[in-house]
Chain A
């Protein structure tokens, strides 16, 4: 399983935080990989619509995330505007952001390095 993460919007523009990050799930530690797969399943990710939520007219500084999950030849992309009402999706995002943070902390971004998605 592979997860691509992007984020945009927010109160300011930070070039480093707007870089896409790829998580090669099968290269994570087994327990982390299993948990991510479980959360993808629990969120019914492949059945989600392409866009979730939308900013109201007049809203400003809102954030959005882009998630693409690829697994066993199928791929699905969802764009998610904050706030997220779906608790299962919130949990999935939380777990993905933990991996994204770990990848960014060591400056690896989209690196294909097998260790790229492990915590420093």
Chain B
């Protein structure tokens, strides 16, 4: 429980908060740094409490959904005008022509690419499969270095230009955020520890597939990067993450080194990052890359379908971890393509490459 991503530190265990405050106040610089980090990781426990609480009071899922004959995009882009007010002021609604503001237009096009992918490839009508309108707010905050999904819409910062560029620059990041909505609709994978890393990986998998579909790339043509172009010039790195080679996306004096593992032997136990949701996602990300590459061709055609059907499988619970999900993908591959098919074998080998036996 007390293993940290870099080293063991007894402060991370059961030290009461007031003692940590005391260390922050009177400790040596090293002790202060460790204590401050401990205060930060409290958020993991907060997420745990929130998720458990919310699951208990979650409303019943709708038994039937509104019938919509032809899936239609309903995109709305707002600007926060550099404030933190959501959703902000409407700047482009569905069907309106380009505004000339590259951020607005990238968001609009990215929402469109995501909608098209889900509709044309996976026969899904928007995020909730019931025609949910797609809303996004751009120009959020001042020099804001992030993009997030707030459970009803997407939010994009402009980046500070020194570490990050505008967050609409990469279509896979837009697809990543919207896919959090799909995962929430289908499985409610809790956003901490392995289920959280799986949740993150789902967003990377479908985010990357949306980009590959848009560019009509085969598995061997794709770069398998998440957020290419997002790191500002001067930062040593190519993207936020690499599914092909997790751990290799950046190594920079300011950002540090990409901490993603690509094998269970290097699984990171940490209380930071909601229990390593953006760290250990490297493992299922790489398994998907392996499966898609083994199968060849367009990754969305077989590997993508297997992963999508697995996400929708009733056996996926909010606390599902890597091994259970891997087993489900294996079962789904057998159901879709036959028990003796190459597809099922590829899924077996893909997970084996990251240290998971199915």
Contact = CB atoms under 8 A, between A and B. Distances in A.
Contact of A13 (B58, B167, B252, B259): B259
Contacts of A4: 24, 32, 36
B158 interface: no
A119 interface: no
A58 B254 CA distance: 30
Interface in B79-101: 84-86
17 contacts: A11-B146, A11-B148, A12-B240, A16-B256, A18-B37, A18-B273, A20-B32, A20-B33, A20-B36, A51-B46, A55-B47, A60-B184, A61-B149, A61-B177, A62-B150, A75-B25, A85-B85
Contacts of A16: 252-256
B278 A57 contact: no
Contacts of B50: 54-55, 57
A9 B40 CA distance: 10
A105 B148 contact: no
Contacts of A22: 32, 36
A17 B159 CA distance: 14
B151 A59 contact: yes
B39 interface: yes
Q: Top 6 nearest A-B pairs by Cβ distance?
A: A15-B256, A20-B36, A16-B256, A57-B54, A83-B84, A58-B184
B21 interface: yes
A90 B82 CA distance: 11
B148 A15 contact: no
Given A8-B272, A10-B145, A84 B84 contact: yes
Given A104-B254, A105-B254, A110 B33 contact: yes
Nearest to A22: B32
Interface of A: 4, 6-20, 22, 51, 54-64, 66, 68, 70, 75, 77, 79, 82-85, 90, 94, 101, 104-105, 107, 109-112
Given A61-B149, A61-B177, A82 B84 contact: yes
Nearest to A20: B36
B29 A110 contact: yes
Given A15-B255, A60-B149, A68-B39, 10 more contacts: A8-B272, A11-B167, A15-B256, A17-B254, A19-B37, A20-B36, A82-B144, A90-B84, A105-B254, A111-B29
A8 B146 contact: no
B51 interface: yes
B58 A57 contact: yes
Nearest to B142: A94
Q: Which has the most chain B C-beta neighbours within 10 Å: A77, A105, A112?
A: A77
Contact of B43 (A11, A56, A79, A112): A79
Q: Which has the most chain A C-beta neighbours within 10 Å: B150, B173, B259?
A: B150
Nearest to A107: B253
A90 B191 CA distance: 26
Contacts of B199: 60
Contacts of A110: 29, 32-33, 36
Contacts of B47: 55
A105 B255 CA distance: 11
A62 B274 CA distance: 11
B203 interface: yes
Interface string B83-125: 0111000000000000000000000000000000000000000
Contacts of A82: 84, 141, 144, 146, 148
Contact of A18 (B29, B167, B252, B272): B272
B33 A70 contact: no
B37 A6 contact: yes
B256 A77 contact: no
Interface string B268-305: 00001110101100000000000000000000000000
Contact of B147 (A7, A11, A15, A109): A11
Contacts of B145: 10
A12 B227 contact: yes
Interface in B220-258: 227, 240-241, 250, 252-257
A90 B21 CA distance: 24
A70 B25 contact: yes
Contacts of A60: 148-149, 177, 180, 184, 191, 199-200, 203
